Structure 1
Amino acid sequence: MAHHDENVVDLLLSQHDEIRGLAATVEKSTGETRRTAFDRLRELLAVHETAEEEVVHPFARRSIDDGSHIVDERLEEENEAKGVLSRLEKLDPDSVDFEELFSDFHKDLEAHASHEEKEEFPRLRREATDEQMRGMAKAVRAAEAVAPTHPHQGVESPAKNIMTGPIAAVADRVRDAIGKRRH
């Protein structure tokens, strides 16, 4: 649950830390440990990116200097990452193909997080009021609660997320429930 004083940058940074830990676990483990860590990583990335696309990037686009350029670069990275994540989902996590693709994905994931942390987040801290930062944290939590749990490439705008997100989220959560019953 969101703390009433939670701000959006601190929330996203803590999620970045969790993403980094999960990615490291995927890279260094095998078997069920890798599969479980990858499933959690995939889900966290899907909901995290959806929330950023719906809440954080629109604010950054209109409120920070060069915001459109910064956001467009992040959205391009997110679109590419969704494509790779979708390919990874189809591979056996213990296969050489998965390991090679995940290794590259992990590097790109780190670069993306680093860009947000250096280019977008400090500017959000400067431009947003404390009330806006807390409001965005609440909005991110709400968006994540109903976001798709699998990557959907090409759905990187707020309008596309709002239009396709709820249907994709229901389908993803059914898919997840069926998958858990099979394991």
Structure 2
Amino acid sequence: MTTTREKDVVALLIDQHNQIKAMFTQLETATGDHRRELFEDLVRLLAVHETAEEEIVHPVARKKIQGGDAIIDARLREEDEEKRLLSELYDLGPDNPGFGAKFRQLKEAVLEHAGREEREEFSTLRTAVDPEQLRKMGNAVMMAEKTAPTRPHPGAPESAIGNLLAGPPLAVFDRIRDAMRDATKSKK
């Protein structure tokens, strides 16, 4: 059986897309503390997932797939819009009466984006990049996620270099906030 560490980057990211889809579905019916926790988990997963894609996957796709620049530029525009929506939702909070409509807008945008990535980028990467490099990229994505910001930062650059420069300070700040939130929860 293949472990997560052995998965190639395409399998890893598709698994994350499926996890994100499941979280959206769960959030639609969740309430109270469970809803807040699910939303925090979704925010974190989306933030680290997109950062890792921007740092590891998109640069390779630009070089290796036909029409890579146009495809990646379109995905980056979508990711920027998703970060803006996610940031607005985060500021609103899941208990706000306006959360539902904006949440549905985010869900639609994220699911359409994931579908385009899988069709236009991931499937082509599978044929354009050798399996060993795809496995190495999977490991690199997992490492990048460990140091990525855990919240959306719409003003942050949408590129590998931008993420490498802005990401670590933002990640430290986010992870301190996460630790403070978790400590507050454990005292309740």
Category of TM-score, reference length = shorter chain: over 0.9
Q: Alpha-carbon deviation of 1:88?
A: 0.5
Compute the TM-score of the two structures, normalised by the length of structure 2. 0.93
How far apart are residue 28 of structure 1 and its match? 1.9
- What whole-Å deviation, never above 9, does each CA across 1:113-157 have from its counterpart, x for those lacking one? 010011111100010001110110011011001111001113210
Q: 2: CA distance between counterparts of 1:100 and 1:78? A: 19
Which SS does the other structure have where 1:94 is aligned? coil
Which amino acid in the other structure matches residue 166 of structure 1?
P
Task: Tell me the amino acid that sits aligned with residue 34 of structure 1.
Answer: R
**1:81-135 CA-partner distances (Å, limit 9, x unpaired):** 1111111111131222011100111111110101001111110001000111011
1:16 Cα deviation (Å)?
Answer: 0.4
Aligned mates of 1:19, 1:145 — CA distance in 2: 18
Q: Does 1:163 align with 2:165?
A: yes
Deviations 1:36-84 (A, max 9, x none): 1110000000100000000000000011000010000100000011111
Partner of 2:114: 113
Percent identity at matched positions? 45
Q: CA RMSD in A?
A: 1.1
How many residues in Structure 1 have an aligned counterpart in Structure 2? Answer: 182
Task: Give the aligned partner of residue 139 of structure 1.
Answer: 140
Corresponding residue number in structure 2 for 1:180: 182
Partner of 2:91: 90
Residue 46 (structure 1) aligns with: 47
Query: Gaps spanning 5+ residues in structure 1: where?
Result: none
Provide the C-alpha distance between the structure 2 equivalents of 1:63 and 1:159, rounded to a whole number of angstroms. Answer: 19
Distance across 1 between alignment mates of 2:169 and 2:5: 29
Inter-partner Cα distance in structure 1 for 2:109 and 2:14: 17
The list of structure 1 runs, each at least 4 consecutive aligned residues, that deviate by more than 6 angstroms after superposition, is none
TM-score by length of 1: 0.96
